[in-house]
């Protein structure tokens, strides 16, 4: 009986070690990209999910999924903490979903499905790393940027539209603000990345443009 207990403890320690290792692999990728949640966060998420799952199996004899089910709720609150609104978009969603996926990997390890957790880790790393190149290709050909351009008078809006057409950028005015003789217009422009870069150079030297930001 004592031998069986020792063997069980060794197996559990091995599972915890594996969960830490997988957390290191995912966390290192996020740390390398300087994301809001880094190496320590992902190690603790994977290790914690693994340990909670082991405890759920050991002490929840009548209802073994009770503790494990609450891991998902807890991870949801944790993931929400890394999502924040940037200037033009919502940031942190990828990191939040990675935390969620890492918790599932930790749960798989804690349940003894080591091969499944290894496959999950490989897929997470592929999505985070390999698909970045695909995103770059999409950005080069279809980049959407929000510009805030300030001009002297409303007549210069037509001048802005001509600039956008010159650089083959589709435009849509989303907001306007008039103050002290100057008109500030927020534009949503869509087009190739190289065309955006050419437009920005033009805006710097255009006398009709008082100020711009993007």
Q: Is the pLDDT of residue 213 over 50?
A: yes
**Who has greater pLDDT, 86 or 15?**
15
Which own/partner contact pairs does 156-160 have at CB distance under 8 Å and 24+ positions apart?
156/183, 156/208, 156/209, 157/183, 157/185, 159/208, 160/185, 160/187, 160/209
pLDDT tens, position by position, 61-89: 666 666 667 777 778 777 777 776 655 56
Quote the pLDDT of residue 155: 64
**Which of 96, 123, 107 has its CA nearest to residue 30?**
96
CA 117 to CA 104: how far, in whole Å? 8
The size of the chain, in residues, is 214
Give residues with Cβ within 8 angstroms of 149, minimum separation 6.
Answer: 160, 184, 185, 187, 203, 209, 211, 212
Residue 7, pLDDT above cutoff 60: no
Distances (CA, A) of 94 to 42, 91, 109, 193, 194: 13, 8, 22, 22, 26
Domains of the chain, start order: 2-139 (no CATH), 142-213 (3.30.70.260)
Is 126's pLDDT higher than 60?
yes
In which band, very low, low, confident or very high, does the pLDDT at 2 lie, cut at 50, 70 and 90? very low
Strand order, beta sheet including 182-191: 170-179, 182-191, 143-151, 209-213
Q: What percent of the chain has pLDDT over 70?
A: 86
- 194's CB contacts (< 8 A; 6+ apart) are 140
Ranking 88-92, 137-141, 182-186, 190-194 by mean pLDDT, the lowest is 88-92
pLDDT in tens, 134-148: 878 888 888 888 899
Confidence of residue 208 (pLDDT cuts 50, 70, 90): confident
Percent of the chain clearing pLDDT 90 (strictly above): 27
Write out the DSSP string of 163-199.
HHHHTT-EEEEEEEEEETTEEEEEEEEEE-HHHHHHH
**Torsion angle defined by CA atoms of residues 164, 167, 170 and 176, in that order, rounded to the nearest 10 degrees:** -20
Banded model confidence at residue 4, pLDDT cuts 50, 70, 90: very low
Q: Are 190 and 170 in contact (CB under 8 A)?
A: yes
pLDDT confidence of residue 121: 95
């Amino acid at each position: 009986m004592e031998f069986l207990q020792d063997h069980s403890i060794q197996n559990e320690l091995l599972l915890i070690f594996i969960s830490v290792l997988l957390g290191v692999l995912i966390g290192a990728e996020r740390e390398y990209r300087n994301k809001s949640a880094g190496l320590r966060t992902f190690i603790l998420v994977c290790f914690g999910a693994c340990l909670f799952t082991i405890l759920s199996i050991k002490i929840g004899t009548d209802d073994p999924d009770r503790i494990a089910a609450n891991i998902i709720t807890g991870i949801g609150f944790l993931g929400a903490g890394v999502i924040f609104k940037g200037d033009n978009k919502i940031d942190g969603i990828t990191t939040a979903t990675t935390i969620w996926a890492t918790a599932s990997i930790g749960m798989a390890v804690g349940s003894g499905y080591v091969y499944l957790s290894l496959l999950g880790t490989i897929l997470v790393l592929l999505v985070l790393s390999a698909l970045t190149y695909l995103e770059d290709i999409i950005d080069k050909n279809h980049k959407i940027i929000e510009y805030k351009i300030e001009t002297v008078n409303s007549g210069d809006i037509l001048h802005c539209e001509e600039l956008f057409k010159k650089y083959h950028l589709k435009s849509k005015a989303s907001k306007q603000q008039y103050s002290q003789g100057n008109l500030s217009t927020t534009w949503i422009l869509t087009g190739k990345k190289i065309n955006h870069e050419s437009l920005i150079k033009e805006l710097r030297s255009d006398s009709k443009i008082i100020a711009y930001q993007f």
